[in-house]
């Protein structure tokens, strides 16, 4: 497995690889890799001739009071996971490499970045779009892999790729879950044992949404209320939002039809967790 720290080395390798007619799959990560990331790497490994994983804790997607400084960093373990997944290249740039002195250009994705998680995290998706644009420019991958767990991020990146004509196929892989249903996330490491038990509230609420919709419920308000009851039953949980939105526009849905995303952001203790389910509403 190769490892590059500079954009110049990474770009040179990618250009040579492309000139040989090889396809490149990119898995952009912030490190602290778990089996959710591993599933993205497996998908890339199956689809592409070469697999690149970037590890970069991107400062511009964290707010001033968020967890940038304490975000888990564990390069040795990450490297071992990538090696085991058959990754060809690890790209591990420094902050100065991706944000050179004087850097001030930002990629803004408009309204898609200001709803849902964008309400409490203003600038978050601008930071995501900015760093993904840079990574795509450096690696110029054929395909890039993202987890459905970060649903809004996948919508933002699909939009970004269309709007800026980046010519990358965005592949969204299913959320990977722990045995009790909790979505895999690097931030799960912040949870105390008790919080970890209560964190199952999110996936339990999504399961209830699926059940209600299958049983014929079509009112978003009623589903939100039912999920609020489930989440409220976990004393460590504090709801940031429970939303039912259009899968493409992220606009709120009131009367369900077609496909809907049920999206949650819930604080469990001092840890902010998100989860979602895309549900097809039958016309019966």
Separation of alpha carbons 118 and 45, rounded Å: 32
18 or 210, CB closer to its own copies? Answer: 18
Residue 71 CA: distances (Å) to CA of 60, 93, 118, 150: 13, 16, 19, 17
Q: Which of 74, 77, 164, 207 binds its own copies (CB under 8 A)?
A: 164
Where in the sequence numbering do the catalytic residues fall? 37
For 15-29, letters b (16+ CB in 10 Å) and e give eebbeeeebbbbbbb
Contact of 24 with 50, CB cutoff 8 Å: yes
Query: Taking CB under 8 A as the rule, does residue 89 contact its own copies?
Result: no
Q: Which of 1, 5, 35, 110 binds its own copies (CB under 8 A)?
A: 110
Structure tokens at 254: 């009131």
102 or 216, CB closer to its own copies? Answer: 102
Query: What is the DSSP annotation of 244-277?
Result: EE-TTT--B-SB--EEEEEEEEEEETTEEEEEEE
Measured from the CB of residue 3, what is the shortest distance to its own copies in angstroms?
18
7 or 43, CB closer to its own copies? Answer: 7
Query: Taking CB under 8 A as the rule, does residue 98 contact its own copies?
Result: yes
Q: Which of 64, 100, 179, 193 binds its own copies (CB under 8 A)?
A: 100
Enumerate binding residues for its own copies (CB under 8 A). 7, 11, 18-19, 21, 98-100, 102-112, 129-130, 133-134, 137-138, 140, 159-160, 162-167
């Amino acid at each position: 497995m190769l490892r590059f720290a500079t954009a110049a080395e990474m770009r040179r390798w990618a250009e040579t690889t492309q000139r040989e007619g090889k396809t490149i799959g990119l898995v952009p990560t912030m490190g602290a890799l778990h089996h959710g990331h591993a599933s993205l790497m497996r998908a890339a490994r199956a689809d592409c001739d070469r697999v690149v994983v970037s590890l970069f804790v991107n400062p511009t997607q964290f707010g001033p009071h968020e967890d940038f400084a304490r975000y888990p960093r564990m390069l040795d373990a990450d490297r071992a996971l990538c090696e085991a997944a058959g990754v060809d290249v690890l790209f591990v740039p420094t902050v100065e490499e991706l944000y050179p002195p004087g850097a001030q250009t930002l990629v803004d994705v408009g309204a898609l970045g200001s709803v849902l998680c964008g309400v409490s995290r203003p600038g978050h998706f601008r930071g995501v779009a900015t760093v993904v644009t840079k990574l795509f420019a450096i690696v110029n991958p054929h395909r890039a892999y993202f987890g459905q767990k970060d649903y809004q991020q996948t919508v933002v990146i699909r939009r970004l790729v269309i709007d800026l004509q980046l010519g990358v196929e965005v592949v969204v892989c299913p959320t990977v879950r722990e045995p009790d249903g909790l979505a895999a996330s690097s931030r799960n490491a912040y949870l105390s044992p008790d919080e970890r038990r209560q964190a199952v509230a999110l996936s339990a609420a999504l399961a209830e949404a699926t059940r209600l919709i299958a049983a014929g419920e079509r009112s978003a308000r009623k589903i939100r209320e039912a999920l609020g009851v489930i989440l409220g039953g976990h004393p460590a949980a504090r709801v940031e939002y429970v939303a039912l939105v259009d899968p493409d526009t992220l606009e709120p849905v009131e009367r369900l039809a077609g496909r809907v995303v049920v999206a949650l952001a819930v604080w469990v203790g001092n840890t902010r967790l998100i989860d979602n389910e895309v549900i097809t509403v039958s016309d019966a």
